[in-house]
Amino acid sequence: MKFSLALTAAALFASASAFTIKFDNKCSYAVWPAIGKAPNGQPDPSVAHGAKLAAGKSISWSVADTQIGIRAWGRTGCADNGTGCKTGGCNGGMVCTDGGITAGVILSEYGYADFGAQYGGKRISWDLSHVDSSINLATGLHASDGQSVRCASGNCPANQAYNSATDYAADRNSPLGATFTHTFCA
């Protein structure tokens, strides 16, 4: 009995210890999704993922709930190996070594936040942002708790994405362990 209780506790802990970033490619062409980490603009290659994603396909990666400074974006017009991208390229090729700080395109951002027990407790704070960056892909971001935002060229209200560093109305937050679907050509 004790053993099975311990297993249940471990399973519950595991299911709540990471959130998921899922990329959904609704474009008619391949996009190269990337995830990096750069809290306060300082690249930390300990969290880095990248792949080529064909039209109509999706791919998911999990990230520990306690991570901060996580960003995710799409690269276009790359060589198969992730180099030479027309938009969103990084240092490192398929898997970026610079946390995406050189990518220069719209990205989704995620970070652990403790709002305090009376204000929702431990959550994942998230948003879309294109501060000082181009909107290379119409981008949607949907959380598994039902919230979603969208930003496209010519249609990107300040409550959907950070256009400037003070667009706090773009901020969202969701429970630990949530799944975030970042859609290209949304």
Ligand X SMILES: *[C@@H]1O[C@H](CO)[C@@H](O)[C@H](O)[C@H]1NC(C)=O
Instruction: Name, in order, each residue with C-beta under 8 angstroms of 15's C-beta and a sequence gap of 6 or more.
Output: 177
Nearest distance in Å: CB 137, ligand X? 22
In the complex, minimum distance from the CB of residue 50 to ligand X, in angstroms, rounded to a whole number: 13
Q: Which is nearer to ligand X, 47 or 94 (CB)?
A: 94
Kindly tell me which of 8 and 81 has the beta carbon lying closer to ligand X. Answer: 81
Our CB check for ligand X shows the closer of 30 and 151 to be: 30
CA distance to 18, 77, 154, per residue, from 186 (Å): 25, 18, 14
Least Cβ distance, residue 77 to ligand X (angstroms): 12
Residue nearer to ligand X on the CB measure, 77 or 93: 93
Residues that bind ligand X (CB under 6 A): 79, 81, 83, 93
Instruction: Quote the least distance from Cβ 90 to ligand X, whole Å.
Output: 13
Q: What is the smallest separation between the CB atom of 150 and ligand X, expressed in angstroms? A: 33
